[in-house]
Amino acid sequence: MLTKNKWIFPSSIGAFVIILAFSIGLSATHANKPSESLSLNKKETKIDFHQTIQDKAKVKGNGNEVSLKTINPVKTSANDIQKEREEFAKQKVVFLTFDDGPSPYTSQLLNILKANNIHATFFIIGNRIKGKEAVLKRIVNEGDVIGLHSMTHNPRSLFASPNAYIQEFEQEQQLLSTLGIHTSISRSPYGSKPYLTMPFRDKVAADHLKLWDWTIDSNDWRYNDNTNLIINEVASEIKRQHEVVLMHDHKDTLKALPAIIELFKDRGYTFEAYNPDLNYSVNFWKDTRL
């Protein structure tokens, strides 16, 4: 019956309605609760900084694999890449590069780079990888880039033929891939001239490798135990908007590096590691394929 515009239920019906409402409330609460299986705990997320040299980098967290592009500022379109290239064209940029590692000094070079919050590119020799796996992983984990510098660094075997040359780089590339490091940037021992004539470069291009020489030779390989000469050599050659500095994974370079970094900072340069998106070609033959 109806009294004062309110329904009055018999006790049994009222109890049923109360139980039904309570059940509906529980269901709604559960439905509105975020699924834990879809969450990504930021504290537990680890970013693999190989994105500069890998096409399929992943971020792992809470058992999920998320494309790096969804949470990290990696270029996702041709328009983004074009904008980055336009910015690069306007800026003064230096690429610090270190050849012939890994060595007992690699970790100390990384310490200096990290202290200055900058990145560099390490062109390593394949037959020096064994036993140095941890430092190679540190290089990429800290945002630096590993490049190929042949297996042996032996000119007699390396430049015997185009096939011999490319086989050494393919072998090193495969060896690095077993460590989860994938790279296509290379540097020929002793530079590309005069050794890498057209048949050699055709092989490099066919193998989809990029080839980098340099714009500044620090001559750290020549000025042993003379840090000031290394620094002065670099200082005298800084003149281009984009510079690629050849250095080596040596003790003397380690001593000179802080001053070299300050030279470029004082002259308004920013520091970058090799980035394939920039499509920046720097080889002595001016071969734009590479």
Q: Would you state the pLDDT for residue 224?
A: 85
Position 37 pLDDT exceeds 70:
no
Q: Would you state the pLDDT for residue 263?
A: 98
Q: Would you state the pLDDT for residue 115?
A: 98
Establish whether 248 is a catalytic residue. Answer: yes
Position 134 pLDDT exceeds 50:
yes
pLDDT > 70 in the chain, percent: 74
pLDDT tens for each residue of 192-245: 999 999 999 999 999 999 999 999 999 999 998 899 999 999 999 999 999 999
Q: Would you state the pLDDT for residue 289?
A: 96
Position 59 pLDDT exceeds 60:
no
Position 5 pLDDT exceeds 70:
no
210: nearest Cα among 123, 152, 87, 272:
123
Q: Would you state the pLDDT for residue 76?
A: 59
Establish whether 99 is a catalytic residue. Answer: yes
Q: Would you state the pLDDT for residue 8?
A: 37
pLDDT tens for each residue of 105-124: 999 999 999 999 999 999 99
What are 156's two structure tokens? 């007699």
Mean pLDDT of 6-21: 40
Q: Would you state the pLDDT for residue 193?
A: 97
Q: Would you state the pLDDT for residue 47?
A: 30
Q: The tokens 């062109």 sit on which residue?
A: 123
| Catalytic one of 50, 119, 149, 248 | 248
Position 167 pLDDT exceeds 90:
yes
Position 73 pLDDT exceeds 70:
no
**What is the pTM for the complete model shown?**
0.75
Q: Would you state the pLDDT for residue 50?
A: 35
| Catalytic one of 50, 99, 144, 250 | 99
Q: Would you state the pLDDT for residue 225?
A: 86
Task: Report the mean per-residue pLDDT for the chain.
Answer: 81
pLDDT tens for each residue of 264-276: 999 999 999 999 9
Q: How far apart are the first and last CA of the chain?
A: 90
